[in-house]
């Protein structure tokens, strides 16, 4: 099956610890994205990557880091510098960086920092 997988579905961490969220896609998509979702605020873009070994900051990149060493994978690290990390995190991918391609979403990871 083609799709986007995110693991784990639920993640708990202690305050002050870094944590890495996984996102893998087998759709052969060039572009990948990370969003954060908080109640009543819609989705906000954290980072995005159009090609391997390249990524750009989104609207709320502070306290987060990413890497894009492989086309299929775009892990997100939530660092201890992120002041309010508890949220639902969604990964997406699209076929290219052009103006017509649709983003497809993974099932999300709910991170709770205790």
Partner 1 sequence: AQSVTQLDSHVSVSEGTPVLLRCNYSSSYSPSLFWYVQHPNKGLQLLLKYTSAATLVKGINGFEAEFKKSETSFHLTKPSAHMSDAAEYFCVVRIMNSGYSTLTFGKGTMLLVSP
Residues that bind partner 1 in the complex, under the rule CB under 8 A: 4, 6, 33, 35, 40-45, 48, 50, 56, 58, 88, 90, 92, 97-108, 110
Rounded to an integer, what distance in angstroms lies between the CA atom of residue 78 and that of residue 58? Answer: 14
Residue 54's Cα: distance from chain center in Å? 15
Give 80 or 101: the residue with its C-beta nearer to partner 1.
101
- Smallest gap from Cβ 37 to partner 1, in A, equals 8
Q: Give one word for 42, left, alpha or beta, with left for phi > 0 and alpha for psi -120 to 50.
A: left
Cβ distance 63 to 85 under 8 Å?
yes
- Smallest gap from Cβ 70 to partner 1, in A, equals 20
Give 2 or 40: the residue with its C-beta nearer to partner 1.
40
- Smallest gap from Cβ 103 to partner 1, in A, equals 6
Give 35 or 64: the residue with its C-beta nearer to partner 1.
35
Cβ distance 35 to 44 under 8 Å?
yes
């Amino acid at each position: 099956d083609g799709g986007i997988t995110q693991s784990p579905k639920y993640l708990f961490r202690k305050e002050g610890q870094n944590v890495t969220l996984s996102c893998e896609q087998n759709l052969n998509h060039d572009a990948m994205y990370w969003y954060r979702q908080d109640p009543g605020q819609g989705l906000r873009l954290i980072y995005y990557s159009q090609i391997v070994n390249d990524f750009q900051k989104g609207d709320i990149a502070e306290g987060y880091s990413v890497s894009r060493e492989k086309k299929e994978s775009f892990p997100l690290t939530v660092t201890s510098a992120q002041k309010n990390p508890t949220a639902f995190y969604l990964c997406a991918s699209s076929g290219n960086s052009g103006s017509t391609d649709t983003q497809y979403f993974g099932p999300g990871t709910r991170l709770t920092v205790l």
